[in-house]
A and B are shown apart, each in its own frame.
Chain A
Amino acid sequence: MVTAQSELAIEAQGVARRFGARWVLRGVSIELGPGEIVGLLGANGSGKTTLLRIFGTLLKPTAGTARIYGHDVARETDAVRSELGFLAHTPGLYDDLTARENLRFGAMMLGLPAGNNLDAALERVGLGHVINERVRGFSAGMQRRLAMARLLLRHARVLLLDEPYSNLDTAGIKLMNEIIAEAGAAGGAALVVLHELAPAAGVLDRTITIVNGRVAESKPAPIPRVRLVPGERAAATAGATR
């Protein structure tokens, strides 16, 4: 695929964001081409999550522009949103709905056709045995898995993942990496906020480190990405996560 300037999957130019008097982002410029998977590193409060939320249309930049496939995140929110798969820090589930009901709600809100196979997604994330149980009783890791199932519902071209590995066990981490690798193989880009590199070994093309609201460095991932053949379904990353 030719990546012209406008065909960048994720793009930020001088993005700055202020909360009250505090500058959380001070002019961040990054570019991700289609198919590229990038880890976003940085200390607590460095602005990683803020940047992700700006790409996720949840915050407007105070200055600068951010684009998803050429669509301005502040102005063309609807176009941006139809590209996004966003996994926030919190799972964003409804405690009094069951696992399947939560997924069905997501599917309806996404405008997916009825009869989308929700149970298959639940099976895949290992929640097949609790399909009809309420989320209130789920552990943090199970809630995380349910959020992953919701991510699987649509084949988003851009994944924005905020510390996706938190609360996940080894199998869960592996599953998460499979989802990322599949999205990458299908030509989608992913921006993954991390506070440690280990779980994402073999998944990332490169890492970008943010220090105090600015991009401090951008370098290839220490362990190169294990690429899937487009369309191939996972499993290849299994070895890398050990």
Chain B
Amino acid sequence: MTTDDLTVQVPRSGGWAAFGVLSIAALIATQVFSFVTSPPDVNMGQLEKIMYVHVPAAWVMFICFAVVLVYSLRFLWKGREEDDLLAAAAAEVGAIFNGLTLILGMIWGKPAWGVWWVWEARLTSTLVLFLVFVGYLALRAFVEDPQRRGQWSAAVGILGALNVPIVWMSVTWWRTLHQMPSTMQDMAKIYWVGMFANFVTMTLVVVYFIRRRYEAAAIVRAAEHAAQAAALGGDE
């Protein structure tokens, strides 16, 4: 191990502020677009407009957890601290959007099903996933040593991501084997345009979020490393 491995590069804010403003503006634009253009649904009236935020939120949550998986693996493989920080940033943003997905699902569920919660496969899987990543974040909060925190949370992140399809499968079977009708309806093509546009812009916002969280974490670590260098006698 050389001191080169130690330094955490301070990420430059550079064009990211502009990226953030643009991505949020784009998200507003696509939401307005889909909100205005979508015709009311025959069965659900205006309710389907919730889907333009609910479904993209669910999708970006999966992107976040995929990032956690990839960077956790990379951290265990290469041991670069940046990868750990990036995985943690993605996990936090993923958990936020996971929580948002759940709340939106409930807001949708109350008028659609008449209850705030049903043990529907997608909703239930999302809840389980939320709990897994709450555990991930709690673990990080409970462990101080950066190396230990990195390796442990990488393991938890990888196993958690591995569990996603299995949870999904088991919950789906659990519902269908008991002959519960699927409660989500198939939607017409026009809805998908708005949905996809919102997904793209929300992804941009999430990229921006992850980047900001990563930047903050990297700066903190860089400050710690600078303090180290001072403690080690100011040598390189």
- Are A and B part of the same complex? yes
Binding site for B on A (CB under 8 A): 16, 18-21, 23, 26-27, 60-65, 74
CB-defined interface of B218-236 with A at 8 Å, one 1/0 digit per residue?
Answer: 0000001001100111010
Count, chain B residues at interface, CB 8 A: 13
Is the beta-carbon distance between B1 and A16 smaller than 8 angstroms? no
Q: Which residues of A contact B235 (CB under 8 A)?
A: 27
- Tell me which of B3, B6, B147, B232 contacts A26 (CB under 8 A): B232
Is the beta-carbon distance between A62 and B233 smaller than 8 angstroms? no
Answer yes or no: B144 CB below 8 A from chain A CBs. Answer: yes
Answer yes or no: B145 CB below 8 A from chain A CBs. Answer: yes
A74–B235 alpha-carbon span in the complex (Å) = 23
Shortest A204–chain B CB gap in Å is 28
Is the beta-carbon distance between A18 and B228 smaller than 8 angstroms? yes
Can you list 8 A-B pairs, Cβ within 8 angstroms, ordered by A? Answer: A16-B228, A18-B228, A19-B144, A23-B231, A62-B228, A63-B6, A63-B228, A74-B1
The 8 closest A-B pairs by CB, nearest first: A23-B231, A20-B144, A26-B232, A27-B232, A63-B3, A16-B232, A26-B231, A63-B6
A18–B1 alpha-carbon span in the complex (Å) = 15
Question: What number of residue pairs across chains A and B have CB atoms under 8 A from each other?
Answer: 31
A64–B235 alpha-carbon span in the complex (Å) = 13
A61–B3 alpha-carbon span in the complex (Å) = 11
Is the beta-carbon distance between B228 and A27 smaller than 8 angstroms? no
A26–B235 alpha-carbon span in the complex (Å) = 11
Q: Which residues of A contact B147 (CB under 8 A)?
A: 60
Q: Which residues of B contact A27 (CB under 8 A)?
A: 232-233, 235
A16–B227 alpha-carbon span in the complex (Å) = 13
Q: A18-B228, A60-B147 are in contact. List 17 more A-B contacts (CB 8 A).
A: A16-B228, A16-B232, A19-B144, A20-B144, A20-B145, A21-B224, A21-B227, A23-B228, A23-B231, A27-B233, A62-B6, A62-B228, A63-B1, A63-B3, A63-B228, A64-B1, A74-B1
Is the beta-carbon distance between B1 and A61 smaller than 8 angstroms? yes
A63–B6 alpha-carbon span in the complex (Å) = 7
Q: Which residues of A contact B228 (CB under 8 A)?
A: 16, 18, 23, 62-63
Is the beta-carbon distance between B145 and A23 smaller than 8 angstroms? no
> Residue on B with the closest CB to A75?
B1
Is the beta-carbon distance between B233 and A26 smaller than 8 angstroms? yes
Is the beta-carbon distance between A23 and B1 smaller than 8 angstroms? no
> Residue on A with the closest CB to B235?
A27
A65–B5 alpha-carbon span in the complex (Å) = 13
> Residue on B with the closest CB to A23?
B231
Shortest B234–chain A CB gap in Å is 11
A175–B123 alpha-carbon span in the complex (Å) = 67
Interfacial residues of chain B within 128-153, with CB under 8 A of chain A in the complex: 144-145, 147
- Tell me which of B6, B144, B232 contacts A23 (CB under 8 A): B232
Interface centre among A18, A64, A74 (most CB of B within 10 A): A18
Shortest A11–chain B CB gap in Å is 15
Is the beta-carbon distance between A19 and B224 smaller than 8 angstroms? no
Q: Which residues of A contact B145 (CB under 8 A)?
A: 19-20
> Residue on B with the closest CB to A22?
B231
Q: Which residues of A contact B1 (CB under 8 A)?
A: 60-61, 63-65, 74
> Residue on B with the closest CB to A214?
B233
Q: Which residues of B contact A26 (CB under 8 A)?
A: 231-233
> Residue on B with the closest CB to A61?
B1
CB-defined interface of B175-200 with A at 8 Å, one 1/0 digit per residue?
Answer: 00000000000000000000000000
Q: Which residues of B contact A62 (CB under 8 A)?
A: 6, 228
Interface centre among A19, A26, A63 (most CB of B within 10 A): A63
Q: Which residues of A contact B231 (CB under 8 A)?
A: 23, 26
A61–B145 alpha-carbon span in the complex (Å) = 12
A60–B235 alpha-carbon span in the complex (Å) = 21
A65–B233 alpha-carbon span in the complex (Å) = 17
A62–B227 alpha-carbon span in the complex (Å) = 13
Q: Which residues of A contact B232 (CB under 8 A)?
A: 16, 23, 26-27, 63
Q: Which residues of B contact A63 (CB under 8 A)?
A: 1, 3, 6, 228, 232
Q: Which residues of B contact A20 (CB under 8 A)?
A: 144-145
> Residue on A with the closest CB to B6?
A63
A184–B145 alpha-carbon span in the complex (Å) = 36
CB-defined interface of B1-16 with A at 8 Å, one 1/0 digit per residue?
Answer: 1010010000000000
A182–B227 alpha-carbon span in the complex (Å) = 44
Q: Which residues of B contact A18 (CB under 8 A)?
A: 228
